[in-house]
Amino acid sequence: MNIYPQKIVKNMNYFRLGSSGLKITALTYGSALTIGTERHDYKYAEELIDTAWQLGIRSFDTSNNYGYGSAEILLGQVLKKYPRQEYVLSTKGSWPIGESQYEKGLSRKHILYAFEQSFERLNIEYIDIYYAHRFDSEVSIEEIVRTFNYLIDSGRVRYWATSEWPLNAIKECHRVCDRLNMEKPIVEQFIYSYAIQKAFSNGVATYCQENGVGTMGFSPLCQGYLTGKYRNGIPLDSRIAKSDQLAYNKTVNFYEQNKSRIDFFLEVCDKYGVDYLAAALQWCLRKNIFPVLGASKKEQLISNVEAINKILPNSLWNELEKVPS
Ligand SMILES: NC(=O)c1ccc[n+]([C@@H]2O[C@H](COP(=O)([O-])OP(=O)(O)OC[C@H]3O[C@@H](n4cnc5c(N)ncnc54)[C@H](OP(=O)(O)O)[C@@H]3O)[C@@H](O)[C@H]2O)c1
């Protein structure tokens, strides 16, 4: 039974990732610091993923390092109940998962090991997008391209992608793929929100968008700051308050590092009487950057999906374009 208004679900648009044939929903639901980290129980994961599904989200993002693998296990378990052809699932490899030389990076040795582990944890027929989570300058781009193409040829991965790769590495990767006549990464996933726009200043977003690579932005709410939730202190049930439990304390620095843009964003939204969530998420979509967002409660997912359908005034966008440095 669908418990959410059909209007919301019907308005969930699909977008093609670059020049690939793969479409994803306007929002992708990510699982860092929530499923498998905040809580390890199936019930919590199920409530969140079922809510996302009922709201029309059909794109799910995870990684081998989220909750030390627990996020993949829980996501895979819950997604089992849904038809495999009806959603896009991405996971990632290369993030350090141990102390040794062989537990990180983009060598063929590590990536094949990391992939086999993710595949086993997800326990799912195939992975739609497999990410090279970070660039590794100690491995030749040819080795990386061949490894990810091998995974596609093995039938267990449909497309490959990069995350937070430097511009030169992306360009070189394209040259190598052309030379070898191999599949290129279809998407680059970088940090992006109104508060953090370095993907444009470093040239990555523009290059990708001009060269058929899809662009996805993680942390589109700047880890919660663009929701206005930290304006009057730290709420008890927030990521910052739970930093010990989550073993993650970086969120608190985001404000100091980006305060001019966070404050400006909230002030402009207040001036126009506009919902922060709507402005934050639609800002990304207007730049053709598809948000990979987090939500630790089902109510957050509901308001985030509602937010992408709100009509906002043009004058808001004109004013927000005056992004403070
Ligand atoms: N490729 C990469 O290297 C990389 C890196 C980081 C993340 N990611 C992906 O991006 C996803 C999202 O990252 P993120 O969690 O940092 O993104 P985010 O969407 O900027 O922040 C999510 C947090 O914002 C708060 N929030 C969300 N909706 C809200 C609402 N409606 N009202 C109030 N608060 C709300 C919640 O914080 P509270 O829990 O405090 O309530 C939630 O946990 C991850 O799950 C992961 O899949 C990828």
Q: pLDDT grade, residue 84 (50/70/90)?
A: very high
Please write the tens of the pLDDT for every residue from 258-286. 999 999 999 999 999 999 999 999 999 99
Atom of ligand 1 nearest to the CA of 220: 20
Is a pLDDT exceeding 90 seen at residue 234? Answer: no
Q: Is residue 30 classed as helix, strand or coil in its secondary structure?
A: strand
- Locus of tokens 């953090």: 196
Beta strands in the chain (DSSP E): 14-16, 23-25, 28-30, 59-61, 88-93, 127-132, 157-163, 187-191, 214-218, 290-293
Global pTM value: 0.96
Ligand 1 center from residue 225 Cα (angstroms):
10
Atom of ligand 1 nearest to the CA of 300: 31
Taking CA atoms only, the protein residue closest to ligand 1 atom 19 is 293
Taking CA atoms only, the protein residue closest to ligand 1 atom 4 is 218
Mutation pick for ligand 1 pocket among 65, 129, 223 (CB with most ligand atoms within 8 Å): 223
Q: What tokens were used for 35?
A: 């499923």
Atom of ligand 1 nearest to the CA of 193: 20
Ligand 1 center from residue 275 Cα (angstroms):
18
Residues with Cβ < 8 Å from 299, sequence gap 6 or more? none
- DSSP category for residue 35: B
Is 66 known to be catalytic? yes
The mean per-residue pLDDT over the stretch 137-150 comes to 98
Alpha carbons 4 and 194: distance in angstroms, whole number: 29
Per-residue pLDDT at 252:
82
Mean residue pLDDT across the chain: 94
Please write the tens of the pLDDT for every residue from 61-79. 999 999 989 999 999 999 9
Residue list, ligand 1 pocket, CB within 6 Å: 30-34, 61, 133, 163-164, 189, 218-224, 227, 229, 238-239, 277, 292-296, 300, 303-304
Number of H helices, E strands in the chain: 13, 10
Please write the tens of the pLDDT for every residue from 4-46. 555 555 678 999 999 999 999 999 999 998 888 877 899 999 9
Taking CA atoms only, the protein residue closest to ligand 1 atom 14 is 219
- DSSP category for residue 64: T
Which of 66, 130, 192, 194 is labelled catalytic?
Answer: 66
The mean per-residue pLDDT over the stretch 127-131 comes to 98
Per-residue pLDDT at 31:
95
Taking CA atoms only, the protein residue closest to ligand 1 atom 5 is 218
Give the DSSP letter string of 90-117.
Answer: EEEE-S--SSSTTSSSS-HHHHHHHHHH
Per-residue pLDDT at 250:
80
Q: pLDDT grade, residue 3 (50/70/90)?
A: low
Per-residue pLDDT at 1:
45
The mean per-residue pLDDT over the stretch 218-232 comes to 95
Per-residue pLDDT at 8:
58
The mean per-residue pLDDT over the stretch 165-173 comes to 98
Atom of ligand 1 nearest to the CA of 221: 20
317, containing H or E segment: helix 314-320
Is a pLDDT exceeding 90 seen at residue 183? Answer: yes
The mean per-residue pLDDT over the stretch 113-139 comes to 98
77, containing H or E segment: helix 70-79
For residue 196, which amino acid is it?
A: I
Ligand 1 center from residue 264 Cα (angstroms):
20
Per-residue pLDDT at 214:
98
Per-residue pLDDT at 40:
83
Per-residue pLDDT at 233:
85
Ligand 1 center from residue 118 Cα (angstroms):
21
Mutation pick for ligand 1 pocket among 204, 251, 293, 302 (CB with most ligand atoms within 8 Å): 293
